[in-house]
Amino acid sequence: MLSGNPIQRACPVCAARDAAPCLAKGALRLVRCRRCFMVYADPVPPELVSGAYYDGLGESYYLSPGKLESDYSPVRFERELRWFRRHCAGGRVLDVGCSSGAFLFQLQARSPGTYDVLGTDVSGPALDYAESRGIPVRRGDFLAMDFGGARFDAVTFWAVLEHVAEPRRFLERAASILEPDGRCFVLVPNFQSLAMRLLGARYRYVYEQHLNYFTRATLLRLVQPRFRLVAAHSTHFNPIVIWQDWRRGGRPVSNPQRAELLRRTTAWKQNRLLTPVRWLYRLAESALGAVGLADNLLFVLRPRSEVGDEFGPGRPV
């Protein structure tokens, strides 16, 4: 794995080839674009660009008991579901990078008969599992997928655009298959989060699978050609991850370890004895979110019309 000749990249946001070294961790090299300040991995292993890496991550990660237990726990997509249902009342939903299908499963479980769901991913083993839970799937490369003229009311990218070499093409494809008043949901790690500021390269989410490191400004610049911003939030906060990564001091986390850490943090989130702690935790998450320091950025977007859109980028929230 990750042994092919590295692929050189242009800036995924502005396409310039003018970047300065920013951060190094193991074999990972991050650079910062001098034109738009986007931070991205360069060069990158070909298996990550093609997606072949994820197809090989079955038993060791996506289907490991820790990862599945965490994905299918009711707390895993709590925030995403709240925002999703607020901005999309029903209709056809495509989850790109759906992995084991947990988001769509939870969506259907909470709103039976409201959504017509479809998941797609490059990881065959994860899709096998999604199908076993009753989620309809399409296999392969989203960019090359033929939907036969079908339109969707929502397209979701939950923690996907940080993994792909050409995120702009994914957004263009999403815009092309959305209903004119459809919604696109994007969640990515926040490069300006408190965790990132405290931990830097020690943070577990600075790792080879993440090719793009967005701030609110660079994500906005990426989406603007095809979308208007409907809502933007900074969401999620995991002090356990900060504590664990601080103690680990940046030592690599294997995929099985990553799955086990996910399982443990999910179990803590569900532990009733920790209810008072959760109150404090939610307060901290809201406060960090209000100042843009929470772990992730969540954008709700609506496609611009094909013939230009005079309304500008939308109201920043």
Interface with Zn ion (CB under 5 A): 11, 13-14, 16, 33, 35-36, 38
Q: Rounded to the nearest whole angstrom, what is the least distance from the CB of residue 16 to Zn ion in the complex?
A: 5
Q: What is the DSSP string of 229-249?
A: EEEEEEE---HHHHHHHHHHT
Q: Rounded to the nearest whole angstrom, what is the least distance from the CB of residue 151 to Zn ion in the complex?
A: 31
The smaller minimum CB distance to Zn ion, of residues 18 and 78, is found at 18
Run of H or E residues at 37 = none
The smaller minimum CB distance to Zn ion, of residues 38 and 220, is found at 38
The smaller minimum CB distance to Zn ion, of residues 19 and 231, is found at 19
The smaller minimum CB distance to Zn ion, of residues 9 and 163, is found at 9
The smaller minimum CB distance to Zn ion, of residues 11 and 288, is found at 11
In one-letter notation, the amino acid at residue 127 is: L
Run of H or E residues at 68 = helix 65-71
Q: Rounded to the nearest whole angstrom, what is the least distance from the CB of residue 15 to Zn ion in the complex?
A: 7
Q: Are 210 and 254 in contact, with CB atoms under 8 Å apart? A: no
Q: Rounded to the nearest whole angstrom, what is the least distance from the CB of residue 199 to Zn ion in the complex?
A: 25
Closest CA to 92 of 53, 52, 133, 148: 148
Give the integer Cα–Cα distance in Å for 293 and 295.
7
Give the integer Cα–Cα distance in Å for 71 and 259.
10
Q: Rounded to the nearest whole angstrom, what is the least distance from the CB of residue 38 to Zn ion in the complex?
A: 5
Give the single-character DSSP code of 207: S
Q: Are 206 and 248 in contact, with CB atoms under 8 Å apart? A: no
